[in-house]
A and B are shown apart, each in its own frame.
Chain A
Amino acid sequence: MTSPISDSENWQPSELERRRRAERQRKTQKNVLIAGISSVLVLGTFSIILVNSPGWISLRDTFFKWAYGVEVLPKVILGFTTNITLTLIAGSSVALLGLLLALVRTSRSPALTPFRFLATIYVDVFRGIPMILVILLIGFGIPALQIPGVTNEVLILGTIAVIITYTAYVAEVLRSGILTVHPSQRAAARSLGLSHFQTLRHVVLPQAIKRVTPPLLNDLVALIKDTGLISILGVTDAVRAAQIQTAKSFNYTPYVMAALLFLAVTIPLTRYTDRILRRSMERQNAQGLT
């Protein structure tokens, strides 16, 4: 921004500035102290209430029996691989189909009018029906049709049901992102000679997707958990595996193990996305606003 000036290299802050810095540092230290004290107070109070409640001992034995938890962990993990596999397959399909749907809904081309109409109906319908009903309808309905050549595999049918529902959600999130990109951006891109598609690909979508990353991440985390819903068709996922163990032992620790597995995936995912977003915002935005 400017030329560095030689005599500023050995510039020493004035007495006043040194005082100001010391004062700012004192303020920061005070804030850290306050944050620490308030955290200890709040968390401490919660733990004391929890540990002193009358049923705490029996609750601890039924939900947090760690030795038993470790024993059943392999089975729960095996179920959890189903959740992860389904999330990867469904997630990538949903991203593609949702994007396609969002593009169709935001396009102005007259040739696409019937598709725009159909896309709107699709979103209205599948966003409105509880996913568990979609899973039941497809998981039990398709095999009942007995169409030759169509699979009866519940795992595949269940996954398709999840994809159908989530595509409707994600398409709407992406569409809202696309609509928030200012028309002047499109004008600038088109005036540089970029085609409609190139404009979408290089100018509109990168901005739109960045803006809707937090809600998309919401949907991804929800997807990881909702893949478990296809267990009603008889697929063994982490929750179902835990349920089987619990039914044998009448101890709920396997559920807690399943919950920890989900958290082990979703928390790092959230932190990672937050970091990427923050970095890209720091790079692009002007600094210094209070």
Chain B
Amino acid sequence: MSLSPSALLSVRDLKKTFGSEVVLDGISFEVPVHTATVFIGASGSGKSTLLRALNLLEQVDDGVIELDGEEITAVDIDPDQVRRKLGMVFQAFNLFPHMSVLENITLSPIKVHGLTRDEANERALSLLERFGLREKADQYPDRLSGGQQQRVAIIRALARNPRLLLLDEITSALDPVLVNEVLLTVRELKEEGMTMVIATHEMGFAKQVADQLCYLHGGKIVESGRASDVIDRPKEPETQEFLARVHSAGRL
């Protein structure tokens, strides 16, 4: 498999095991710049591990990850340098409870990217303004609703101007009403051309944002393609069975 010129991220034959459990079993895909790749699959299919591996939070057991043409799975790579180009949003928000919203957002721009406090504040406030959270800037995360917290977490990732945004089941901890406000935010980013890798359980959302949809099962990409093809006309029996279960749960 060769790296196409427009691919921002290229993953080849990725393997990850925990003891005797094989979590990722030969994953390969490419993410062209300005596109969104969405992973769907049951809990435990390896989605989160994959995203953590992309962010170098997990050491993989085999395979190659290339970001901007650089092999980030190389032994002598500096993970901190790689992560400067990546933004990650977690299922449980992971905001720092001892910092205000503004401090959460400006921490990395100031400490890692060398912005002055004024520059970082200005940038953070304009992002907050854009996503309708301007008045929450001085509040602490615990005082916000789940949806607001997750939007702050997205802004925190965005404030560093990442090349690639990793979203790990960012709506799984939210109720349906709040899910919407978060997904709306992601759709906006998509329209602006942000390159994203997304793990989600929301099929409707997957259909809306995915340029490429991958169904992950048992650590393998069983089926991938255009979102409408995979979701509406699945070819593989595993995909069909999974979608039928999602359907009967009323989540489609």
Binding site for B on A (CB under 8 A): 1-5, 8, 11, 13-14, 16-17, 20, 23-24, 27, 182, 287-290
Contacts and interface: CB of A to CB of B under 8 A. Distances in A.
B44 interface: yes
Contact of B45 (A2, A23, A182, A290): A2
Contact of B57 (A2, A16, A288): A288
A1 B63 contact: no
B64 interface: yes
Nearest to B42: A2
A27 B75 contact: yes
Nearest to A19: B75
Interface stretch (B20-28, B167-175, B207-215): B20-28
Interface residues of B, number: 31
13 contacts: A2-B44, A2-B219, A3-B218, A4-B22, A5-B25, A5-B218, A11-B15, A11-B22, A14-B13, A16-B64, A24-B75, A288-B57, A288-B59
Contacts of A288: 52, 57-59
A11 B61 CA distance: 11
Given A11-B15, A14-B13, A290-B56, A1 B79 contact: no
Interface of B: 13, 15, 17-18, 20-23, 25, 44-46, 49, 52, 56-59, 61-64, 73-76, 79, 97, 218-220
Contacts of B76: 23
B22 A2 contact: yes
Nearest to A22: B75
Contacts, number: 56
A288 B63 CA distance: 18
Contact of A4 (B20, B57, B58, B59): B20
- A interface, by DSSP: helix, strand, loop or mixed? loop
Contacts of B220: 5
Contacts of B61: 13, 17
A1 B47 CA distance: 11
Contacts of A23: 75-76
B83 to A, nearest CB: 10
A20 B22 contact: no
Nearest to B59: A288
Per CB-CB distance, the 9 closest pairs between chain A and chain B, nearest first, are A17-B62, A23-B75, A8-B22, A288-B58, A1-B44, A3-B218, A2-B44, A2-B23, A13-B62
B73 A20 contact: yes
A290 B44 contact: no
Given A17-B63, A288-B57, A289-B57, A5 B75 contact: no
Nearest to B22: A8
A287 B18 CA distance: 10
A1 to B, nearest CB: 5
Contact of A2 (B46, B52, B58, B64): B46
A290 B57 contact: yes
A14 B89 CA distance: 32
A2 B19 CA distance: 12
Contacts of B218: 2-3, 5
A4 B21 contact: yes
Given A2-B21, A14-B13, A290 B62 contact: no
B12 to A, nearest CB: 9
Contacts of B73: 20
Q: Which of A11, A13, A24, A287 has the most CB of B within 10 A?
A: A11
A5 B21 CA distance: 8
Nearest to B73: A20
B76 to A, nearest CB: 8
Given A1-B18, A1-B44, 17 more contacts: A1-B21, A2-B22, A4-B21, A4-B22, A5-B25, A5-B220, A8-B22, A8-B25, A13-B61, A13-B62, A14-B13, A16-B62, A20-B75, A23-B76, A24-B75, A288-B57, A290-B57
